[in-house]
Amino acid sequence: MILANGNVYDTSCQDELLDSLEEQLNRTLAEQSLSPELVIAAIDRLGRRLDRGEFDSLLSQVELADRYLAQIRPHLTREALEYKLKVELGTDTAPFVTRPPEGLPPITVRPAPLGVLLHIAAGNVDGLPAYSVVEGLLTGNINILKLPQADNGLSVEILRQLIGEEPALADFIYAFDTPSEDVDALLRMAQLSDGVVVWGGDGAVSAVRRFAPVGVKLIEWGHRLSFAYLSGAQERERDWPALARHIVETRQLLCSSCQVIYLDTERQEDVHAFCRDFLPLLEQAAASGPARSLGAAAELTLRRYQERVERAISGGARQADRQVYHGRGCSLTACTDRELELSDLFGNPLVKALPRKELLPTLRRQKGRLQTAGLLCPEEDRAALTDLLTRAGVTRVLRAGEMSDTFAGESHDGEYSLRRYTRMVNVR
């Protein structure tokens, strides 16, 4: 499925549409501009229709739709979008005159869109591809979206509805369901772009780096690793169940999902004691959480089988390093190492000892990949531990159950996306 010029086309039309795309993009760049107000008004109207239940059938394909809607809806209001522009681009996005030191001439600084953005989207968050395009629209860019394989038409329908609210957006939105293996088509799109926005893991980022033309700005939103850190006497009855629910509800698929539960201790026996105490809470969360898909269950079964084979080949050495505490629909793995790594996902976190004196050097080994820390500790220790986590490279420090929450004005992986999608033009 392809979206171009406000119309939906069959995938077979891809080459024909790409042949005429350069001419269309140049005509739009030469003759049209896109104001933030136009985009904000269209999104605000779409949000009001959402409140009236007009898209309930569309949302039915989204897992945990109510929770997802509660998270995303506040960001689709006029007030939230205006606040986002103010925070990320300043109080005045119109041209302004700088006031240099005495004796130096003033100069006009004019913010401008990059021009054309190619969004190569990941499919781990429903609606994320469409939201990436919205950020491109807010900055006045033309947007070409390469849809993720698992999108199932959701993003195209969202963008089609947005164009319905404001037909002027049609010339600024294109979406292609091009497979990642079709490098020739992706290269053609990249050559027409001023910036390539890539969401995904190391493989996706590396692939884009190989084919992105010289001179095209590469904007990477790579996969990140997040964890929980438990130190001292926490509010166990409140925080532990909240952490368990977070692990199950996110299925550990988000960059902000907890992969490793770190304990501020040097004692391995504390790790095993925690696993025994926390497992019933994780089981309770799993019993009421989203059902694991057949594919996810099969993948986890294969991983467990591979681990058993590796232990047999290595003579059991691996078994001494890791002990799995199996629960109903979940598990905890007590590890003797301290590295931050990806877990088995779908309610199967790793548990490791990490005394705070070793926190920074351990986390620094994953610099550039760190995102959220779910900090559970006494209030009197929170400021010091937050500062330590921040210096280690973490970009979000939140409460246990809030690790995947979104907030107005927050950065993304420590950067403001709207700033990355614009350039400053100096005029005298």
Length of the chain: 428
CB contact set of 317 (below 8 Å; sequence gap of 6+) = 311
Q: Classify residue 48 as exposed, middle or buried by CB count within 10 Å of its CB (0-12, 13-18, 19+).
A: middle
Beta-carbon neighbour count of residue 46 at 10 Å? Answer: 19
Q: What tokens appear for 345 in the block?
A: 């996902």
What pLDDT is stored for residue 303 in this prediction?
A: 55
pTM of the shown model: 0.85
**Tens-of-pLDDT digits for all 428 residues of the chain?**
899 999 999 999 999 999 999 999 999 999 999 999 999 999 999 989 888 888 877 777 666 556 667 777 788 899 999 999 999 987 555 555 667 788 888 888 888 999 999 999 886 666 788 889 999 999 999 999 999 887 778 889 899 999 999 999 999 999 999 988 898 999 999 999 999 999 988 888 888 888 888 999 999 988 899 999 999 887 888 999 999 999 999 999 889 999 999 999 999 999 999 999 999 999 999 998 765 555 555 555 555 555 555 555 555 545 568 999 999 999 999 999 999 999 999 999 999 999 999 999 999 999 989 999 999 999 999 999 999 999 999 999 999 889 998 888 888 888 999 999 999 888 88
Handedness of CA 160, 14, 221, 229 (dihedral sign): positive
The helix (run of H) or strand (run of E) holding residue 161 is: helix 154-165
Q: How far apart are CA 67 and CA 72, in angstroms?
A: 9
Alpha-helical (H) ranges within 330-378 are 359-364
225-402: which CATH number, 3.40.50.150, 3.90.245.10, 3.40.309.10, 3.20.20.70? Answer: 3.40.309.10
Q: How far apart are CA 198 and CA 204, in angstroms?
A: 8
**How do residues 21-67 score in pLDDT, each as one tens digit?**
999 999 999 999 999 999 999 999 998 988 888 887 777 766 655 66
Structure-derived torsion over alpha carbons of residues 203, 412, 344, 400, reported in degrees to the nearest 10: 170
| 3-class state of residue 153 by DSSP | coil
- Domain ranges in the chain are 2-223+413-427, 225-402
* CATH 3.40.605.10 describes domain 2-223+413-427: yes
Alpha-helical (H) ranges within 214-352 are 236-249, 268-288, 294-313, 317-321
Q: What tokens appear for 55 in the block?
A: 């898209």
Q: What tokens appear for 378 in the block?
A: 């006494």
